[in-house]
Amino acid sequence: MVYANPETALALARVELEKAREEEKAAVKETILAKPGNELARQAVQLQREAEIKSQATRAAGAKDALELARRRRFVEERYGGVNTDRGKVYMHYGPPDEIEQHSIQGKTFEFWKYRDASKGKAVLEIQFEDGKQVQRKGGLTADI
């Protein structure tokens, strides 16, 4: 499959490589442990299979996260000029804001990004940008970006 975005292709390739490595490890363990008449070996193989199922679920979640980050990166590069801009950094870290207000005053553009707590419906983080530069941050989310 061909992907237009190299980050997406790289993320998927990493997931596939890890999957292949895990499958190879499982096959070797199964071959070594599954000798006829060895009940402990059969139990070990069963535990290995259960662990592999859990591992696959974890990898699937990781692939989903990698694809989301690749999608965010594409959007940020197109919309905000890259991941090293103030808006790009915020978007990559927190994702899309729940609300954006834009105002132009005396030739300057102001944006107010609001992130809300879904359970309470109130803003927990508000970030103000002036001409694309972050100038103010209010709220409880304090992680550095």
CA distances from 79 to 18, 51, 82, 93 (A): 33, 42, 8, 16
Q: Which of 108, 92, 91 is nearest to 100 (CA)?
A: 91
Geometric angle at alpha carbon 100, from 134 and 125, rounded to 5°: 60
pTM tops 0.85: no
Output the pLDDT for position 50: 74
**In this structure, how many other beta carbons lie within 10 angstroms of the beta carbon of residue 87?**
21
The tens digit of pLDDT for each residue in 7-62 reads 777 777 787 878 888 888 777 766 666 666 667 777 777 777 777 777 676 666 77
Output the pLDDT for position 78: 94
Cα(114)–Cα(120) distance, integer angstroms: 14
